[in-house]
Amino acid sequence: MKLTKTLMATTALTVAAAAAHADGHGMADSMTLVSWGGAYQSSQQKAYVEPYLAMNDGVSSTWDESSAEAVAKLRAMNEAGNVTWDVVDVVAADAIRLCDEGLALEIDPDSDLAAAPDGTSAEDDFGDLLVSDCFIPQIVYSTTFGYRTDLVPEGVDAPSDICSVFDLETYPGKRALEKRPINNMEWALLCDGVAKEDVYDVLETDEGQDQALAKLGTIKDSVVWWSAGADTPQLLADGEVFMGSTYNGRLFSAIVEQNQPIGMMWDAQVFDLDGWIIPAGLSDDRLARAKDFVKFATDTQRLADQSKYISYGPARASSAPMVGQHAELGIDMAPHMPTDPANAANTFLYNYEFWADYRDDIDAKFQAWLAQ
């Protein structure tokens, strides 16, 4: 009898405490974060999640490594009326699509995001990188080329120009390119005599698309097409290809952390953004938690902290001066950032609007061209 009473009292207390906790903050005490897995996700875990959990007692978080299929899965969850994710890491192009489909929540930068330490509003601090009403940028990464330093022919300079990708005579060997038209079409036109500012005007036309494919056709037999970011570092490490495109952070870890004989070629690198979105249709307490986390995780200090673990540039202007050294290797991170002035002499910014319109059309042509 006594035992039952004690048990009941304890249960009541626990329930009351839990209720008080929930009432006190009005926030859910667990959240599911979605990211890409690998080194990138662990940099987020160390720079954002661990400090956040340390500050918020009783909150727990789980990772779901589904960012690659985030758009399709969110759409399915939304149709089923059961959104199980709280904060989702996606590339900017996907954020725009999620926003278009009404699957992501619109945010107000000035109230939902933290201002910079010097008082600059979040909207100004992120500037042009707020490419969608739903998108909260985290990092700037780039798609660029790595090449095998030991396979550069004797008496020839290491490749430093994007057109060396198309120059099989000077730089023999295979190339690794992504199995999609985005970036490849731009590089092809650039090396076929189209001026940088005209690239998208040309690519809008059928003739321009044919021109780009024709240029890619000159190296088609020497290309290994990749679909996962890890492929190119592997192909380079095995000596399967002489040079290949991939995300700069992947090359950084192959070069610096695994000491592979690989060099970076930053010319005509294509900047892209990665960041958070909050799915539409969350309950009030989960939404409050998601907003609280995102506000914390995208403040100036946190974005700067992430660059200790991975060579991606923080998306806030105010974080850039705070980029320091690698947390374990102790090397300066700034020269490995795609945004470093020495690396960013000639860059592209992923043209979101253009590819939102032309993606379906050009992809159909590109895939048909590949299959022939």
Q: Which is closer to other proteins, CB of 126 or CB of 358?
A: 358
The two counts, helices (H) then strands (E), for the chain are 15, 10
Pair 314, 323: CB distance under 8 Å: yes
- 368 near 289, Cβ under 8 Å? no
| Contact between 168 and other proteins per CB under 8 A | no
Does the protein bind other proteins through residue 365 (CB under 8 A)?
Answer: yes
Query: How is residue 89 written in tokens?
Result: 């890491």
How many positions of this chain bind other proteins (CB under 8 A)?
A: 35
3 state DSSP class of 30:
strand
Residue closer to other proteins by CB (options 128, 238) is 238
Which of these segments, 97-105, 115-123, 271-279, 339-347, binds other proteins (CB under 8 A)? 97-105
Question: Nearest distance from residue 292's CB to other proteins, in Å?
Answer: 23
Q: Does 227 sit near other proteins (CB under 8 A)?
A: yes
Residue 230 binds to other proteins (criterion: CB under 8 A): no
Query: Would you call 220 helix, strand, or coil by DSSP?
Result: helix
Closest to 188 in 3D by CA, of 218, 159, 168, 158: 218
- Which one of 119-127, 191-199, 232-240, 259-267 is the stretch in contact with other proteins (CB under 8 A)? 232-240
| Per-residue x/- track, 288-327, other proteins (CB under 8 A) | ----------------------------------------
Q: 287 near 278, Cβ under 8 Å? A: yes
Nearer to other proteins, 46 or 75 (CB): 75
Kindly state the tokens that stand for 6.
């004690």
DSSP state of 255: I
Residues 6+ apart with CB under 8 A from 2: none
Angle between helices 92-100 and 352-371 (to 10 degrees): 110
The answer to whether residue 284 forms part of the interface with other proteins (CB under 8 A) is: no
Query: Nearest distance from residue 227's CB to other proteins, in Å?
Result: 7
Per CB under 8 A, 363 contacts other proteins: yes
Among 25, 46, 295, 359, interactor with other proteins by CB under 8 A:
359
* Eight-class DSSP state of 254: I
SS3 (DSSP) at 277: strand
* 357 scored as a contact of other proteins (CB under 8 A): yes
Q: Are 356 and 93 in contact (CB under 8 A)?
A: yes
- Of residues 77, 42, 81, the one with CA closest to residue 63: 42
* Residue 150 found at the interface with other proteins (CB under 8 A): no
What residues from 196 to 215 belong to the interface with other proteins (CB under 8 A)? 210
Is residue 285 close enough to count as binding other proteins by CB under 8 A? no
Q: Does 268 bind other proteins (CB under 8 A)?
A: no
Binding site for other proteins (CB under 8 A): 68-69, 71-72, 75, 97, 99-102, 174, 179, 210, 224-225, 227, 238-240, 353, 356-361, 363-365, 367-372
